Amino acid sequence: MAGANASANQYSLLQTCKVNGINSYRYLQALLAALPLAQTADDYEALLPWNIALPTE
């Protein structure tokens, strides 16, 4: 069940990127680099697609 929830969360994030015109590949790059450093709710909020700084191509 946990795997299904994780997959659904990831799919939702990627669809949010798509709807908002955010490059999902660059979003995942930034997310996976910053996620290990997140500790607080504010840190996690900063990782949402519309808040995170994306790497340039």
Domain boundaries, the chain: 2-45
Residues 45-51, mean pLDDT to the nearest whole number: 93
Q: Which residue has the higher pLDDT, 3 or 57?
A: 3
Residues 28-46, mean pLDDT to the nearest whole number: 95
pLDDT at 57: 66
pLDDT > 70 fraction of the chain, expressed in percent and rounded? 98
What global pTM score does this model have?
0.80
pLDDT > 90 fraction of the chain, expressed in percent and rounded? 82
pLDDT at 2 over 90: no
**Residue 16: is it exposed, middle or buried by C-beta count within 10 angstroms (0-12/13-18/19+)?**
middle
